[in-house]
Amino acid sequence: MKPEDGTLHVFDDAAALARGAAEWLTDRMRDKHGHEARIALSGGSTPKPVYEALAQPPLDSRFPWDDVQFFIGDERFVPTTDPASNYGMMLGALFEHVPVSDRNVHPVPTEGVTIEQAADAYQKVLAAVYGADTLDPARPLFDVVLLGLGDDGHTASLLPGQPVLGVTDRWVAPVTHGRTEPRVTLTYPALNSAAHVAFLVSGAGKRAILDRVLSGGADVPAARLRPTGTVHWFVDRAAAGSRA
């Protein structure tokens, strides 16, 4: 069975999913043929093996590191050294092992600023790289957005029942309730401004919510995403269930 929206890629297990998604991402970046690309990375346990695959042969030498600007879809408002930091995870899994310039990696500031200041600063970084303060539907902010899927249907830090779901006039917003630690997240306008959105979903525990979203149910945050480009679902058989 195909999803209501997008293309479903089913892999035998989580390891195969990670390799497949890493190869797909590398191919998308190579498609740019030397033109600068922008990626929004996701935190979480499923994307981590994807980053580890990118940092290992043969992809580490195929990926065009100099031509890609890396951003973070959402971040917990904790120091980079905190185990909960998405950027900290990305450093250990990817950035410390590949020839990428610090100028090409854009973490969310989480120290020495308030959470509101962090969101404002990150929006300014995005606008500077994009070259405008207003998004043009014909010119996506991101070439690829990687996303996870929470058990409750959240993606990035677009959490069920939180005011951030209604934010349409900002690309970045603070999320101060709904989880133990406050967060900074890209909003729907920013996430929707993408040539490709790729969801990474693994494990039997995600089967129910994945089926709910793929069936077109718009009552959870992930199902409300409406990107300008294509949507891809990279899932393992445990999560896919009868859709495999």
So where are the chain's domains? 7-243
Percent of the chain at pLDDT > 90 equals 89
Average pLDDT, the chain: 94
pTM (two decimals): 0.95
Higher pLDDT, 4 or 158: 158
Whether 80 shows a pLDDT value over 60: the answer reads: yes
Give me the architecture of the 7-243 domain, per CATH: 3-Layer(aba) Sandwich (3.40)
In what helix (H) or strand (E) does residue 38 lie, and over which residues does it extend? strand 37-41
pLDDT digits (tens, 9 = 90+) for 218-240: 689 999 999 999 999 999 999 99
pLDDT exceeds cutoff 70 at 3: no
For residue 5, what pLDDT is reported? 66
Question: Which CA distances in Å does 195 have to 37, 139, 155, 171, 232?
Answer: 11, 9, 18, 16, 11
Instruction: For residues 194-201, give the mean pLDDT.
Output: 97
Percent of the chain at pLDDT > 70 equals 97
In this predicted model, which residue has the larger pLDDT, 26 or 44?
26
Token output for 141: 């902010």
User: Which helix (DSSP H) or strand (DSSP E) does residue 128 occupy?
Assistant: helix 115-130
Average pLDDT over residues 66-92: 97
Q: What are 227's two structure tokens?
A: 């990107």
pLDDT the model gives residue 2: 45
